């Protein structure tokens, strides 16, 4: 499968890149700083297209079977929210122009609904992080209005942490996947497994899903 991966050098994107390449997929890694990527692998193409340049991005995406976006406008970016919104407006427009219908976007956990009916946003997010997570919440609402793309929106577990790839986890939809102790967590490596699984299998087309142990 030919996969275009946006945000390939980020925390999530780098793990998705490793997972997809390990399965033999042909990956075009789109990143702000392609110098962080090794272009020595036969199934890896490195691309520095600017996500905010919609026409150029549409060209870069064209000809792929699927798009995975792990785009993040930067946690230290003072314009994080506005740039996140602008970035995803460009990504979705470029996907539509490119003719690639299949896209998976990695969003946030804040819109997941807890057993008591509250959102993760209301129960867990302190005021100083509200601006950092609002973009992903808006993105879910925006992508649910998308009529042309075969989209999937992934909400990570509440605790996304470093750790090993086990390949063993559970999937959910609108509620966090909790373990026996009531905690929602997963390693970035295992979330990457779930992402590539979904691109291969298409279990959650035009739906949101989540993952946890």
Encode pLDDT of 110-148 as tens digits: 999 999 999 999 998 888 888 878 999 999 999 999 999
Residue pair 108/84 in contact (Cβ under 8 Å)? The answer is no
What whole-number percentage of the chain has pLDDT above 90? 84
Cα–Cα distances (Å) from 142 to 36, 46, 118, 176, 210, in that order, read 31, 29, 21, 21, 18
Per domain, the residue ranges of the chain are 2-212
More confident residue, 208 or 37: 208
pLDDT in tens, 17-36: 999 999 999 999 998 877 77
Lowest mean pLDDT among 36-50, 82-96, 112-126, 141-155: 36-50
> What's the pLDDT at 125?
87
CATH architecture of 2-212: 3-Layer(aba) Sandwich (3.40)
Q: Which of 210, 56, 208 is nearest to 140 (CA)?
A: 208
With a CB cutoff of 8 Å and minimum separation 6, the contacts of 118 are none
> Which residue intervals of 62-152 are DSSP H helices?
80-98, 120-124, 130-144
pTM of this structure: 0.95
More confident residue, 127 or 152: 152
Averaged over 186-198, what is the pLDDT? Answer: 98
């Amino acid at each position: 499968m030919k996969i275009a991966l946006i945000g390939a050098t980020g925390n999530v994107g780098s793990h998705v890149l490793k997972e997809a390449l390990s399965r033999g997929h042909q990956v075009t890694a789109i990143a702000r700083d392609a110098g962080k990527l090794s272009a020595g692998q036969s199934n890896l193409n490195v691309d520095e297209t600017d996500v905010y340049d919609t026409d150029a991005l549409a060209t870069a995406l064209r000809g792929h079977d699927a798009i995975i976006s792990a785009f993040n406008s930067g946690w230290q970016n003072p314009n994080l929210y506005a740039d996140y919104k602008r970035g995803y407006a460009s990504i979705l427009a470029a996907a539509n122009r490119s003719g690639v219908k299949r896209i998976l976007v990695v969003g946030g956990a804040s819109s997941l609904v807890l057993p008591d009916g509250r959102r993760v946003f209301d129960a867990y997010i302190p005021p100083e992080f509200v601006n950092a997570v609002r973009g992903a919440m808006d993105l879910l609402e925006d992508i649910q209005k998308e009529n042309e793309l075969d989209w999937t929106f992934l909400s990570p577990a509440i605790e996304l942490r470093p750790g090993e790839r086990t390949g063993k986890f559970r999937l959910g939809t609108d509620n966090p996947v909790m373990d026996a102790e009531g905690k929602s967590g997963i390693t970035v490596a295992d979330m990457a497994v779930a992402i590539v699984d979904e691109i291969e299998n298409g279990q959650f087309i035009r739906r949101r899903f989540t993952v946890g142990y």
